[in-house]
Structure 1
Amino acid sequence: MLILLAFIIVFHITSAALLFISTIDNAWWVGKDFSTDVWQICTNITNCTVINENMAEYQSIQAVQAAMILSTVFCCVAFLVFILQLFRLKQGERFVLTSIIQLLSCLCVMIAASIYTDRHEELHEAVEYLQLNVASGQYGYSFILAWIAFAFTLISGVMYLILRKRK
């Protein structure tokens, strides 16, 4: 049982790390001389334009920002609740709340990645003034990490439900 708990803790920390990296790093959509994420658009490496609320075209990107932040927060809260429940609750009652919070994290990252998948063309149209050929880009590793984090948080949420029945 101790090995299983250690595996789950490592798996949960890996999920949180993936969420942090995919939320923060500037590689959701990359091209030859630009990269974009949910926070900014960078040409070369040094010239970055921050996406803010004054840009009406970015409402869907703001939804992605909010969902990614929520998923990261839920994942961290789920880990703290897991640690508290590990020592406080009776056997058989453990980890239901942790599982619910982790599945909420999974839902939020799925919503964020789905919105970005559907609406990243709006970002392309909005940055034409930067003289970039953003249509020639491709999804970056942060976007892929977001989908991997979705799978990890889903698996860990289900593992917590299964683990609650273990002795």
Structure 2
Amino acid sequence: MLVLLAFIIVFHITSAALLFIATIDNAWWVGEEFYTDIWRICQNNTNCTEIDDTFSGYATIQAVQASMILSTILCCIALFIFVLQLFRLKQGERFVLTSIIQLLSCLCVMIAASIYTNQHEEIHDINRLHYQGTFEGKYGYSFILAWVAFAFTLISGIMYLILRKRK
């Protein structure tokens, strides 16, 4: 059981790390001469512009930002509650709250990545207006990490539900 708990803790920390990287790093959409994330747009690695309310798709980006931040916070809270519940609650009562919070984190990252997937054409049309250049590119590794973090948090939330029955 101790090995299983250690694996779950490492898995949860990995999920949180993936969420932090996906939220902070600047590689949601990348091309030859630019990269963009949910915070800024950079061209030629030197000319960076913060995404603010001057962008017409700012509300969409704000929804992605808020969902990713909330997902990261919920994942960290779930880890803290997991450690508290590990020593405080009886068998059968353990980890239900942790599972619920982790599944909420999963939902938030899914919402953020889904919004970005659905609206990325609109978002990058806005980028073209600011830079007058081509924004042909592909999804970057931060976007992919967001989807991997979704899978990890979903698996983690389900593992907590299964683990509550274990001795």
The TM-score range, normalised by the shorter chain, is over 0.9
Task: Give the distance between the partners of 2:76 and 2:46, measured in 1 at CA.
Answer: 32
Shift of 1:122: 1.3
The alpha-carbon deviation at position 17 of structure 1 amounts to 0.3
CA distance in 1, matches of 2:79, 2:165: 19
Unaligned stretches of 5+ in structure 2?
none
Matched, 1:7 2:7: yes
Amino acid in structure 2 at the alignment position of 1:63 = A
Deviations 1:73-126, CA, capped at 9 Å, x for gaps: 000000000000001111111000000000000000000000000001111111
Indicate the percent of aligned positions where both proteins have the same amino acid.
Answer: 75
SS in 2 for 1:42: strand
CA contact (8 A) 1:58 1:122 kept: no
> 2:93 aligns to what SS in structure 1?
coil
Query: What residue in structure 2 maps to residue 122 of structure 1?
Result: 122
Partner residue, 1:19: 19
Q: 1:104, 1:83 → 2: CA distance? A: 18
Residue in 2 that maps onto 1:28 = 28
**Aligned pairs for 1:120-159 within 5 A:** 120-128=120-128, 129-134=130-135, 136-159=136-159
> Tell me, which stretches of 5 or more residues in structure 1 are unaligned?
none
CA RMSD of aligned residues (A): 0.8
Residue in structure 2 matched with residue 113 of structure 1 by the alignment: 113
Give me the whole-angstrom Cα distance separating, in 2, the residues matched to 1:108 and 1:123. Answer: 20
What amino acid does structure 2 have at the position aligned with 1:133?
T
Q: What is the identity, as a one-letter code, of the residue corresponding to 1:151?
A: A
Alpha-carbon distance in structure 1 between the residues aligned to 2:157 and 2:26: 28
1:35 aligned counterpart, secondary structure: strand
TM-score by length of 2: 0.97
User: Partner amino acid for 2:4?
Assistant: L
Name the aligned partner's letter for residue 122 of structure 1. Answer: E
Task: Give the TM-score normalised by the residue count of structure 1.
Answer: 0.97
What residue is the counterpart of 1:160 in the other structure?
160
Which residue in 2 is equivalent to 1:41? 41
- Deviation per CA, 1:1-46, whole angstroms, max 9, x where unpaired? 0000000000000000000000000000000000000000000112
- Give the corresponding residue for 2:83: 83
How much does 1:160 deviate?
Answer: 0.1
* TM-superposed deviation, 1:47: 1.1
